[in-house]
Structure 1
Amino acid sequence: MQTNIASTETRTETLKSLVYSSVAVAPFNDAELDALLLQARARNEALGVTGMLSYRGGSFIQFLEGSEEHVAELMADIEADPRHTDVRILIDERISERQFSSWTMGYQRMRTTETPVPAGFRDTFTDLEQGADDVITARAASELTFWFKVRSAR
């Protein structure tokens, strides 16, 4: 869903970017994902939070950005949500501007590959899921953000 939350922000507001991963307790079908997105978009719009959600093979990666207070409030609700487990904060930082200012919750369906990946191939989603170290996590988050923006512009 597109919106323009960034245009209503004040210059003095401290923005926070938070990226987390989690594992679905049970796989989500398309209808369940659509319902989740409707719920997330309404809540995010009410709080002035923007971001994107990725789901693949039972795992979520979500980017949230907004005021520190609202992101923390939303994250507390997300951590308490019984539909997923193993919530891991991958990135938690202050930012000067939003990356997803047009989306209350952008979403792109991702497919799990059926065949083994070639030797030396990196999988950005897996890099984020595993969160091996800060450098790999930051690079993977940047790559997934770029991938999402390119796909959404089509």
Structure 2
Amino acid sequence: MSADDTTLLSLVYTSRAAAPFRETALTHLLEQARSLNGARDITGMLLYRGERFIQVLEGPAHLVRGLARTIGRDVRHRDMRILMEEPIEERQFEDWTMGYRSLQGERDHAPAGFRDSFADLEYADERSTTLRALAELSLWFRVRADRSVTV
């Protein structure tokens, strides 16, 4: 067994939808991802807004990298860019097979200092910008997910 088989990896990418997704298409994509990723021991978070995806994938390094290659060839995506890839000690999204939040059409605003977009990550070259943005998006997603459970 190689280290790549046992090392947990977190990979974050952004891409653009090749064509706008309707809510039913997003639901189908989510169901497919949950099924396939659950069988592969891959967890993560998926956000979609303004024809852009950002996804965090976590799991065994060789499986996460293989899935990223598959996504990069998927005709539903274009302009895929890996923002971050690093070994992790533990999963940030272990509670979800694939956490999901469609930001399409949501009109409530994030508190001052938080973001509701990730457009600036598309061209960010500074690692600290990417890490800060991902932490903010992760927090936003978790707060929203918790709020929807308690409402």
Q: Decide: shared fold, TM above 0.5.
A: yes
Partner of 2:110: none
Q: CA RMSD in A?
A: 2.1
- Cα deviation code 1:75-124 (max 9, x no counterpart): 1110110011000000100010000001111111114688xxxxx98655
Correspondence list, 1:25-104, <5 A: 25-104=18-97
Q: Report the TM-score, using the length of structure 2 for normalisation.
A: 0.84
Which stretches in structure 1 are left out of the alignment for 5+ residues?
1-11, 115-119
Residue matched to 1:141? 134
Counterpart residue type for residue 81 of structure 1:
D
Overall identity of the aligned pairs, in %: 51
Q: What CA distance in whole angstroms lies between the structure 1 residues aligned with 2:127 and 2:105?
A: 25
What TM-score, normalized by structure 1, do the two folds share? Answer: 0.82
Number of equivalences: 138
* 1:140 aligned partner, one-letter code: A
Which of the numbers 9, 13, 18 marks the counterpart of 1:16? 9
Deviating above 2 A after TM superposition, structure 1's stretches of 4 or more consecutive aligned residues are 111-114, 120-124, 126-132
**In 2, Cα distance between equivalents of 1:93 and 1:142:** 15
Q: How big is the shift at 1:150?
A: 1.0
